[in-house]
Structure 1
Amino acid sequence: MDLVGRRVSVRHRDGDGVRDVVGRVVTAGSDGLRIERRDGELAFVPTGTVLAMRVVPDRPRRTRRAATFSPDELTRITLRGWPAVESVPLGDWELRASAGFTGRANSVAVHGDPRTDDPFGAVVDFYASRALRPLAQLVEGSPWDRRFEDAGWVPVTGQPPGAIVQVADLTAVPAADPDVVVEAHADDAWLRHYGRVTDPATARAVLEGPATVGFLSLDDVAIGRVVVTGEWAGLAAVEVDPAHRRRGLARRIVETSLAWAAAHGADKAYLQTLRGNEPALALYRPYGFTTHHAYRYLTTS
């Protein structure tokens, strides 16, 4: 039986105990199964540890509404949609490095407990060893946001200072536009329209990292990216060439992204955009997106 795409329940040996994993099979090889849980977390079950397995019905949709997730929960979810080339845990935090490609992939994601007496020093040392400036992504107004400020960290300059995170429940999903092409990989034309790429190999490693990701293009003048991790979809990189704006092309990219996400099992969606970017906010508003929280980047002074 081809298990890829199926929802399974697997009981397996885990160390000295027994553990159950329920989720969608992403890959099935001779070495084992990669299973994506509801929240997008990936679990690997080695072949020799499986005690019992069965295919189970698809999960019920929308057990929780998007707005009920905490900022820490949503931070962890969004990390899976934009994975760094290198990711190292610091307790619950995630130290991310990707040769400078985007702040999200080159900052420590702060959520939960770092489980160390000197988290600030650990962050500085990690980025210094990779010739990158220390950068922390923090939920605005959170306790850790204030603690970083008290430790002397300051807002970044020379790059976007952060973003607002918006969420929506996927209820009345629009139809896909038949003229919008969705591919599994970011080709050279897509990267050229994205416009933030200096090293294509690094960019592709980040952008193509998730197991379920689509790169949208329309008439070689508009692009977008959509990723599905568990029950969540992430929309990003909606770009339209300046000479072709105000023709509804971005709307067609967004609607096809939402349709693709729903077809791949998502019932909630998030996006991240600059505060004050009213054209972007207006683009997403008709689909039910509302602001959940904001984050910002701080660095050492």
Structure 2
Amino acid sequence: MDPWLFRRISVRYLSAGQASDVIGRVIHRTDSEVQLMRREGQIEIVPVHDIIAAREVPDTERRLRSPAETSRAIIDAMIARVSGPDSGADDAAGRVFVADVRDWDFTPSVPVTVLEQPDALWLKLERAHVPNDPRDAANRPETHPLLQTFLRRDDSAIARAVLCGDWFTLDRVWLAEGEAAQNPQADLSALFIEGARWAQARGAFFAWFAVLGADGTPLLPLADLGFAEHRN
């Protein structure tokens, strides 16, 4: 594995003859380019031959905004970046819950399996959008499998965990209903805990959970993990 992967760096480079600066985590690096993810999930592609200077910027050198200080417009943009432009992020009935995951106890109440690739059950529910796909901004063919992982709680709950800068979320959550359901709230909590463990190792500090429309009300009680409704 690339030793620079997910390390936060500052890069000064030439763009149209002018010096520009970008700070982000390294998510891909070749002899010709470096791909950086900014704190809100935007992906910047910097040609190596344009780099003037670069240095590591540890997280200890930055001031983190709390989840409550982050504007709803920024969160809506991250929701669209992760879930696709038709995600309904601007749904007036939607509610967004946010949490700081740095002090979480990463011991899920029930076992969760982490999958590098989606299994048949997840693919059955999948949408076509690839989270944080650089093609959105730069028409690039590559995708970023390192920015997502797949979580499964037996046959009762599945989700995709997605990294988006300093944040992560569970996207495309499915909880079994009826006789197949075990404990939906415990399952959802366990998926978030395992997702947070994965995301924090890649630089995430915060989590959001979007409930778009009134039908999502049964998914809301995540207060035990520190989630609070975002009202900024």
Q: Same fold (TM over 0.5)?
A: yes
1:73-84 residue pairs with structure 2 within 5 A? Answer: 73-82=74-83, 84=84
1:149-187 Cα deviation digits (max 9, x unpaired) = xxxxxxxxxxxxx52111112243131448312123323
Match of 2:64 in 1: 63
Report sequence identity in percent. Answer: 27
* Structure 1 residue 27 displacement after superposition: 0.5
Separation in structure 2 between the aligned mates of residue 52 and residue 206 of structure 1, nearest angstrom: 31
Structure 2 residue identity aligned to 1:169: D
Match of 1:186 in 2: 118
Match of 1:111 in 2: none
Residues 173 and 42 of structure 1, relative CA distance in 2, 3 Å threshold: same
Unaligned runs of 5+ in 1: 85-95, 97-102, 108-136, 141-161, 198-202, 295-301
Match of 2:217 in 1: 278
Match of 1:216 in 2: 151
Structure 2 residue identity aligned to 1:280: L
1:1-301 residue pairs with structure 2 within 5 A? Answer: 2-59=3-60, 63-82=64-83, 84=84, 96=85, 103-104=86-87, 138=90, 140=92, 163-177=94-108, 179-192=111-124, 194=125, 197=126, 203-206=127-130, 209=133, 211-242=146-177, 243-247=179-183, 248-273=186-211, 274-275=213-214, 277-282=216-221, 284-292=222-230
* Structure 1 residue 205 displacement after superposition: 4.1
Is the 1:221–1:240 Cα contact (8 Å) retained in structure 2?
A: yes
Separation in structure 2 between the aligned mates of residue 56 and residue 245 of structure 1, nearest angstrom: 45
Separation in structure 2 between the aligned mates of residue 76 and residue 185 of structure 1, nearest angstrom: 26
Separation in structure 1 between the aligned mates of residue 62 and residue 218 of structure 2, nearest angstrom: 31
Structure showing greater relative contact order (alpha-carbon pairs closer than 8 Å, 6 or more residues apart): 2
TM-score by length of 1: 0.63
What CA RMSD, in Å, does the superposition of the two structures yield over aligned residues?
2.7
TM-score by length of 2: 0.79
- Larger displacement relative to structure 2 (183-192 or 230-239): 183-192
Is the 1:174–1:256 Cα contact (8 Å) retained in structure 2?
A: no
Residues 31 and 179 of structure 1, relative CA distance in 2, 3 Å threshold: same
Residues 65 and 206 of structure 1, relative CA distance in 2, 3 Å threshold: same
